[in-house]
């Protein structure tokens, strides 16, 4: 869902010249900017390493909910897969900005009680050690899906209905995916003082001109 929202903003934004989508299955999106590359194993993208050269940014939006998952399984998808993917990208594109979709409440100390927050924290910390131009860890909280999005499930359908009420009371917690996408484009152009990009930072970045 997050990836689709970011994609829609990249399509609309004139600052984005070309988009390479790396997916397991076709998205159904067609646009002159888009090239889609299907690859089954995100733990090993070395077979397609030559196809990812020359890009300015990666918006890594892959992720799963930790609900009902044991730590080793969540760790494999959230940490191991992400780092395996990112290491190949860093080797091919040292001037790339890597944007990772993490989450509000992520534990940078890696010592807290919440399993998902520890794993996300370790993922953020180790991404920062890779030889990218910059790494930004986006920490959104509640996000409203983009109008017309195809990948909206479960609780987000409820959020879509109640979002206008939530937003009135707290803009610094409730964001739209349009804002997240705009912020990701903006941060590649303007940068950010810190690698951790909290909800208030996302809202601010989304308002900058690209």
Q: Decide: 168 and 144 in contact? Cβ < 8 Å.
A: no
Separation between Cα atoms, residue 141 and residue 154, nearest integer Å:
16
Separation between Cα atoms, residue 160 and residue 153, nearest integer Å:
11
Q: Which domains are seen in the chain, by residue range? A: 2-205 (3.40.50.720)
Q: What's the pLDDT score for residue 159?
A: 56
pLDDT tier, 93 (very low <50, low <70, confident <90, very high otherwise): very high
What is the 3-state composition of the chain as percent helix, strand, coil, each rounded to the nearest 5? 40, 15, 40
The average pLDDT across 35-53 equals 96
Least confident stretch, 75-79, 104-108, 148-152, 181-185: 148-152
Q: What's the pLDDT score for residue 174?
A: 76
pLDDT tier, 175 (very low <50, low <70, confident <90, very high otherwise): confident
Structure tokens, 85: 């993917």
Residue 57 confidence (pLDDT) above 90: yes
pLDDT tier, 1 (very low <50, low <70, confident <90, very high otherwise): confident
Structure tokens, 163: 């979002």
- Other Cβ atoms closer than 10 A to 92: 18
Q: Decide: 25 and 38 in contact? Cβ < 8 Å.
A: yes
Structure tokens, 20: 């390479």
The average pLDDT across 64-68 equals 89
Name the average pLDDT for the chain: 90
Say what percent of the chain tops pLDDT 70.
86
Please write down the long-range contacts of 202-207, taking CB distance under 8 Å and 24 or more positions apart: 202/138, 202/140, 202/175, 203/171, 203/172, 203/175, 203/179, 206/178, 206/179, 206/180, 206/182, 207/182
Least confident stretch, 16-25, 101-110, 138-147: 138-147
**Residue bearing the bigger pLDDT, 104 or 162:** 104
Separation between Cα atoms, residue 43 and residue 36, nearest integer Å:
18
């Amino acid at each position: 869902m997050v990836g689709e929202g970011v994609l829609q903003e990249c399509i609309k934004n004139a600052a984005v010249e070309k988009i390479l989508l790396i997916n397991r299955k076709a998205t159904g999106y067609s646009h002159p900017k888009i090239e889609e590359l299907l690859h089954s194993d995100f733990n090993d993208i070395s077979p397609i390493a030559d196809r990812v050269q020359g890009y300015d940014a990666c918006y890594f939006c892959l992720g799963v909910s930790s609900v009902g998952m044991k730590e080793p399984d969540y760790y494999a998808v959230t940490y191991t897969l992400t780092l395996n993917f990112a290491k190949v990208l860093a080797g091919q594109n040292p001037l790339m900005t890597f944007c990772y979709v993490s989450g509000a409440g992520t534990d940078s100390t890696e010592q807290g009680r919440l399993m998902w927050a520890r794993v996300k924290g370790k993922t953020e910390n180790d991404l920062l050690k890779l030889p990218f131009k910059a790494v930004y860890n986006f920490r959104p909280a509640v996000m409203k899906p983009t109008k017309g999005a195809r990948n909206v499930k479960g609780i987000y359908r409820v959020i879509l209905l109640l979002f206008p009420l939530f937003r009135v009371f707290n803009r610094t917690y409730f964001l739209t995916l349009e804002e997240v996408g705009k912020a990701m484009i903006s941060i590649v152009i303007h940068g950010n003082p810190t690698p951790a990009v909290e909800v208030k930072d996302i809202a601010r970045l989304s308002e900058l001109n690209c």
